[in-house]
Amino acid sequence: MALVLTMTAHATGADGDGVGNALDIDFDNDGIPGDDEDFEILQAAFLSVSSDADFDAALDLDGDGIISGLDITIFLQLRSS
């Protein structure tokens, strides 16, 4: 099954770099999207929810308020494309 990404209001981006969250996998803003450091950042936030004090909306690639397996799947799909 292929993952299909669509542009929504969530595509505006949370980190101010002009790239929407759904496509922005350069979490450390080092100019290298999808590298091992970005994946480590995403893994460290796994299962955090929007009500958590340290929740980072930039890591919530699907915009559902939780950093879940779907966010990791999106990250890996974008990294391989």
What is the pTM (predicted TM-score) of this model?
A: 0.75
Give the model's pLDDT for residue 23: 76
Give the model's pLDDT for residue 7: 46
- Give 20-80's CATH code, choosing from 2.30.30, 1.10.1330, 1.20.140, 3.30.390: 1.10.1330
Give the model's pLDDT for residue 22: 59
pLDDT along the chain (81 residues), means of 10: 49 54 83 95 97 95 95 94 82
Give the model's pLDDT for residue 39: 98
Give the model's pLDDT for residue 13: 58
Show me where the domains of the chain are located. Answer: 20-80
For residues 62 and 50, the answer to whether their CB atoms sit within 8 Å is no
